Amino acid sequence: MFEIRDKVFFVTGAAAGIGAGIVRAFLDEGAKHVAALDVDINNGKALEQELTAKYGNDKVKFHKCDVTTNELDAVYDNVVNDFGYIDVVVNCAGIMNDRPNAYLKEIDINITALIRSSFKAFDLMRKDQGGRGGTIINISSIVGLFQAHLLPVYTATKSAVLQFSNCLGKAPHCTRSEVRVLTICFGCTDTSLFSSSKMGAFDKETDELLTGSMGILPMQKIESAVDGLIHAYKHGESASTWLVTSDRPAEDITGNVSKAYEIMSQGVFS
Ligand X SMILES: NC(=O)c1ccc[n+]([C@@H]2O[C@H](COP(=O)([O-])OP(=O)(O)OC[C@H]3O[C@@H](n4cnc5c(N)ncnc54)[C@H](O)[C@@H]3O)[C@@H](O)[C@H]2O)c1
DSSP per-residue string spanning 43-73 = HHHHHHHHHHHHH-TTSEEEEE--TTSTHHH
Q: Quick one: 15 or 35, whose CB is closer to ligand X?
A: 15
Q: Which of 165, 191, 224, 238 binds ligand X (CB under 6 A)?
A: 191
93 binds ligand X (CB under 6 A): yes
Q: What is the x/- site pattern for ligand X, positions 135-164, by CB under 6 A? A: ----x-x-----------------------
Q: Which of 135, 138, 189, 224 binds ligand X (CB under 6 A)?
A: 189
Q: Which of 94, 131, 169, 228 binds ligand X (CB under 6 A)?
A: 94
The DSSP code for 250 is P
95 binds ligand X (CB under 6 A): yes
Q: Closest by alpha carbon to 233, among 26, 92, 30? A: 26
Q: Quick one: 104 or 175, whose CB is closer to ligand X?
A: 104
Amino acid identity at 139: I
H or E segment to which residue 21 belongs: helix 17-28
The CA distance from 122 to 86, in Å, is 10
**Cross-strand bridge partners of residue 179:** 134
Q: How far is the CB of 95 from ligand X (least distance, A)?
A: 5
199 binds ligand X (CB under 6 A): no
244 binds ligand X (CB under 6 A): no
Q: Which of 92, 174, 226, 250 binds ligand X (CB under 6 A)?
A: 92
165 binds ligand X (CB under 6 A): no
Q: Closest by alpha carbon to 136, among 149, 116, 121? A: 121
10 binds ligand X (CB under 6 A): no
Amino acid identity at 179: V
The CA distance from 85 to 105, in Å, is 30
- Annotated catalytic residues are 154
Q: How far is the CB of 184 from ligand X (least distance, A)?
A: 8
Q: How far is the CB of 132 from ligand X (least distance, A)?
A: 26
Cβ atoms of residues 163 and 118 within 8 Å: no
The CA distance from 115 to 228, in Å, is 23
The DSSP code for 32 is S
17 binds ligand X (CB under 6 A): yes
Helix axes 222-235, 17-28, angle to 10 degrees: 50
Q: Quick one: 37 or 257, whose CB is closer to ligand X?
A: 37
Binding site for ligand X (CB under 6 A): 12-13, 15-19, 37-40, 65-68, 92-96, 109, 139, 141, 186, 188-189, 191-193
